Amino acid sequence: MAGRPIAPRLGRALLLAVFSALFVLYVAGPVAWLVSSSLQTEAQITAVPPNWLPPELNFGNFDAILNAAERQVTYETRRQGDPATGGFLPSGAANLLPSLWNSLTVGLWVAALNLLLSITAAYAIAVIDFRGRRATLYTVLATRVVPDIALIVPLFLVIRNLGLINTLGALVVTYLAITVPFTIFILISYFEGIPRDLYRAARIDGCGHWRALRHVYLPLSLPALVASLTFAFLTSWNEFVFALVLTQNVAAQTLPIVISGFVMDFTTSFSFVNAAGVIAIIPPVVMAVLFQRYIVSGLTAGAVKG
Amino acid sequence: MATITCERITKRYGGVVAVDALDLTIRHGEFMVLLGPSGCGKTTTLNMIAGLEEISEGRLLFDDKDVTWQPPHKREVAMVFQSYALYPNKTVRENIAFPLQLRRTPREEITRAVTEVAEQLEIGHLLDRRPSQLSGGQRQRVALGRAIVRKPSVFLMDEPLSNLDATLRLSMRSLIKHLHHRLRATFVYVTHDQAEAMTLADRIAVMKGGLVQQLDTPEGIYARPANTFVAAFLGSPQINLVQGEIAPDGSFARGAFRLALPPGAAQPGRAVTLGLRPEDVGTLAPGLARLEARVDLVSPLGSETHLEVVAGDDVKLTLRVPKEWRAQEGQVIAVGVDPARLHLFDATTDARL
Ligand SMILES: Nc1ncnc2c1ncn2[C@@H]1O[C@H](COP(=O)(O)OP(=O)(O)OP(=O)(O)O)[C@@H](O)[C@H]1O
Ligand SMILES: [Mg+2]
């Protein structure tokens, strides 16, 4: 290090800085624009040159979202909408908050049930030596080989015949079918990485399978559990196609469906849509911030000498 | 309540037979050592006794109770693993207390038991650390503590000392021996270290290829090895094994090499393997057989001297002699061998004659 000339080192640092900045811009740029434009009026967004930052903070879009339920929007009255939205309030605006609630409900149920189902299945396959455990694993994974789009029509028919169309339960069950096989697979590889002797010690010390799971496997796979939780919630939060087919109105429609409806309305209010977008990314961001400290490695340090 | 009876226990992994129709009775309070080379089925046997591996065939009894299909947590055995297997997310205190907590022992009693065990094992100052903050020897003590805190009637130990350095191994060895004396429990101890086996065991089961080769006290196994494998496995330096045959006069012969045997040891003409322990030689005296050999290499160890010698045409032997012997390399020496201490094995079956 000491003998190296300064210039190449400086060049290296500069290069790193430039590419880091480019990367940050690429990842965070759209999000920044989303937030910035949600605080501007429609006129300000469409101005040339564009306003990168809001000329003044304008919460009109958010106000419109939060109070949408109190306004009647019809073909005649839509032009008297909030001036902040350029005079156009999408007819589905009132559905936004209920759909946010639907998305949250479905997401939390999927995250919780996904973990519950996957943990027990993964433990059985990874730890208990039963006949046909490999076959079980491959069967579970095979369900994910069929593309979702091919499943839509049969799934629709099944759900309709069960009388579950336009219910949150139908969405929860459908999303679980997507997330559970992946989660089982992730947890199996994590469980298999936990030293087998720890399982043996637990059994000897007096644990049955449930206690071995609770006292050894769960505490030591916290990062994988948190990752699974996040994965399931985000999958459910972002899902579009199944929700489009399986729901019909505000009773069960989720956020992506309602927001996409704004774009296909008579006219599109970009500032309003972007404000809705900001609301849509808040829960995942909060989740990521809360959970990132659990994603750590080295939990099994000191368990065994290998 | 702790006699362990294995009745023709077999373990198969697919086509591999790891343990082959093992018959073994471990008496109450006994220190049984399973000794054998790597891969001979020691761990598998221990795991089957613990209930951690399913038994493919045969029956396992604790006293008179059939426990073949009983899960491990119902068997009331404690086990120490070669890898220690401490719970990394728990402190030392929690590790030791864990088996008691699972049994819903009252809290005051747990505290008392943990303190007592920590004192015995001299780990009292480590109770609030986590396993990752301990040295190997300390981890091993914690693993022992977790096993003894329950006061079980059966202890299973799978090479508990093999990860420790030589000095630590010695002190832990005597610690374990003291534990056995104090607890009066049945110990089943797996090792491939013959010195550990000899010093700890009441009886040793020498295993090879999933079969018990010999089951006897350490003295018995050393003095009367059942076959050449057992003879070679115990003793350091290794026993000298020489292939040859019985001469018409009843002595052992290989080329020009001759050694007198006890009268009637075997039929003349029979092909045999002779076993001579390096230490079973001494100064020539009446009643001893004469062994003449040329000294090839002298290795003084301080307390004793090892000689590598060549007898007859090509018979290489290692001899253990007192340090006072001043043998020179190249010199021809004559030593005395007590014929009664020689071992004879069949040349084809390797079994003791
Ligand atoms: N899970 C398994 N699957 C297949 N074969 C196995 C399995 N476990 C052990 N074996 C085989 O069974 C035999 C006995 O293994 P075991 O672990 O009991 O040996 P060991 O005597 O404890 O050896 P070491 O001293 O190396 O620990 C070996 O040949 C091994 O390859
Ligand atoms: Mg082993």
pLDDT at position A84 is 46
Please report the atom of ligand 1 found closest to the CA of residue B42: 21
Tell me the CA–centroid distance for residue B40 and ligand 2, in Å: 8
Measured between alpha carbons, how far is B51 from B60 in angstroms, rounded to an integer? Answer: 10
Region A117-135 average pLDDT: 93
Region A111-131 average pLDDT: 94
Which ipTM did the prediction report?
0.86
* pLDDT band per the 50, 70, 90 thresholds, residue A85: very low
Chain segment B33-68, per-residue pLDDT in tens: 999 999 999 999 999 999 999 999 999 999 989 999
Nearest CA in chain B to A301: B132
Are residue B110 and residue B256 in the same domain, yes or no? no
pLDDT at position A70 is 67
Are residue B212 and residue B328 in the same domain, yes or no? no
Please report the atom of ligand 1 found closest to the CA of residue B46: 18
Domain boundaries A95-305, CATH class: mainly alpha
Q: Tokens 């220690």 label which residue?
A: B84
Across the A/B interface, how many CB contacts are shorter than 8 Å? 88
Identify all chain B residues contacting A301, using CB atoms and an 8 Å cutoff. Answer: 88, 131-132
Contact B73 A207 (CB under 8 A): yes
Is B13 part of the contact surface with chain A (CB cutoff 8 Å)?
A: no
Final residue before a domain boundary, out of B203, B232, B261: B232
Residue A304 has pLDDT above 60, yes or no: yes
Residue B352 lies in a domain: no
pLDDT at position A1 is 47
pLDDT at position A75 is 55
Please report the atom of ligand 1 found closest to the CA of residue B190: 22
pLDDT at position B97 is 96
Contact B85 A207 (CB under 8 A): no
For a ligand 1 pocket test, name from B10, B20, B42 the mutation site with the most ligand atoms within 8 angstroms of its C-beta. Answer: B42
Contact A215 B98 (CB under 8 A): yes
Are residue B144 and residue B266 in the same domain, yes or no? no
Are residue B185 and residue B250 in the same domain, yes or no? no
Contact A129 B84 (CB under 8 A): no
Are residue B212 and residue B293 in the same domain, yes or no? no
Residue B294 lies in a domain: yes
Are residue B228 and residue B266 in the same domain, yes or no? no
Residue B337 lies in a domain: yes
Residue B264 lies in a domain: yes
CATH of residue B274's domain is 2.40.50.140
Neighbours of ion ligand 2 (CB under 5 A): B 43
Measured between alpha carbons, how far is A59 from B342 in angstroms, rounded to an integer? Answer: 102
Are residue B155 and residue B104 in the same domain, yes or no? yes
Are residue B195 and residue B212 in the same domain, yes or no? yes
Task: Identify the domain containing residue B287 by its residue range.
Answer: 236-346
> Model-level pTM?
0.84
Considering only CA atoms, which residue is closest to atom 13 of ligand 1?
Answer: B18
Q: Is B78 exposed, middle or buried (0-12, 13-18, 19+ CB in 10 A)?
A: buried
Residue B80 has pLDDT above 50, yes or no: yes
Question: Which residues does A contribute to its contact with B (CB < 8 Å)?
Answer: 129, 195, 197-198, 200-208, 211, 215-216, 219-220, 299-306
Tell me the CA–centroid distance for residue B158 and ligand 2, in Å: 7
pLDDT at position A83 is 47
CATH of residue B81's domain is 3.40.50.300
Q: Which strands make up the sheet holding B65-66, listed edge to edge?
A: B16-26, B4-13, B57-62, B65-66
pLDDT at position A271 is 79
Are residue B21 and residue B169 in the same domain, yes or no? yes
Region A12-37 average pLDDT: 92
Are residue B224 and residue B245 in the same domain, yes or no? no
Final residue before a domain boundary, out of B232, B262, B290: B232
Q: Tokens 């039929």 label which residue?
A: B267
Residue B84 lies in a domain: yes
Contact B50 A200 (CB under 8 A): yes
For a ligand 1 pocket test, name from B9, B11, B12, B16 the mutation site with the most ligand atoms within 8 angstroms of its C-beta. Answer: B16
Could you tell me which of A256, A217, A131 has the C-alpha nearest to residue B14?
Answer: A131
Please report the atom of ligand 1 found closest to the CA of residue B192: 25
Residue B342 lies in a domain: yes
Considering only CA atoms, which residue is closest to atom 14 of ligand 1?
Answer: B41
Contact assessment for residue B1 and residue B21, using Cβ atoms and an 8 Å cutoff: no
Residue B11 has pLDDT above 90, yes or no: yes
Tell me the CA–centroid distance for residue B210 and ligand 1, in Å: 9
Contact assessment for residue B284 and residue B290, using Cβ atoms and an 8 Å cutoff: yes
Are residue B50 and residue B150 in the same domain, yes or no? yes
Q: Is A70 exposed, middle or buried (0-12, 13-18, 19+ CB in 10 A)?
A: exposed
pLDDT at position A243 is 92
Tell me the CA–centroid distance for residue B281 and ligand 2, in Å: 36
Final residue before a domain boundary, out of B232, B253, B276: B232
Could you tell me which of B56, B138, B55 has the C-alpha nearest to residue B91?
Answer: B138
User: What does pLDDT average to over chain B?
Assistant: 92
Are residue B50 and residue B69 in the same domain, yes or no? yes
Q: Classify residue A129 by its DSSP letter.
A: -
Residue B340 lies in a domain: yes
Could you tell me which of A281, A280, A266 has the C-alpha nearest to residue A86?
Answer: A266
How far from B175 is each of A257, B61, B143, CA to CA, in Å?
70, 29, 13
How far from A241 is each of A246, A283, B242, CA to CA, in Å?
9, 21, 82
Contact assessment for residue B288 and residue B341, using Cβ atoms and an 8 Å cutoff: no
pLDDT at position B286 is 87
Residue B172 lies in a domain: yes
Work out how many domains chain B is built from and give that number: 2
Please report the atom of ligand 1 found closest to the CA of residue B13: 4
Chain segment A178-203, per-residue pLDDT in tens: 999 999 999 999 999 999 999 999 99
Residue A88 has pLDDT above 70, yes or no: no
Hey, where are the domains in chain A? 95-305
**Pocket lining for ligand 1, CB < 6 angstroms:** B 13, 16, 18, 36, 38-44, 192
CA torsion through residues A15, A18, A22, A24, sign: positive
Is B84 part of the contact surface with chain A (CB cutoff 8 Å)?
A: yes
Chain segment B265-281, per-residue pLDDT in tens: 788 889 999 999 999 99
Considering only CA atoms, which residue is closest to atom 4 of ligand 1?
Answer: B13
Tell me the CA–centroid distance for residue B90 and ligand 2, in Å: 26
Chain segment B301-351, per-residue pLDDT in tens: 989 999 999 998 889 999 999 988 888 899 999 999 999 999 999 999 999
Could you tell me which of A151, A112, A155, A149 has the C-alpha nearest to residue A247?
Answer: A155
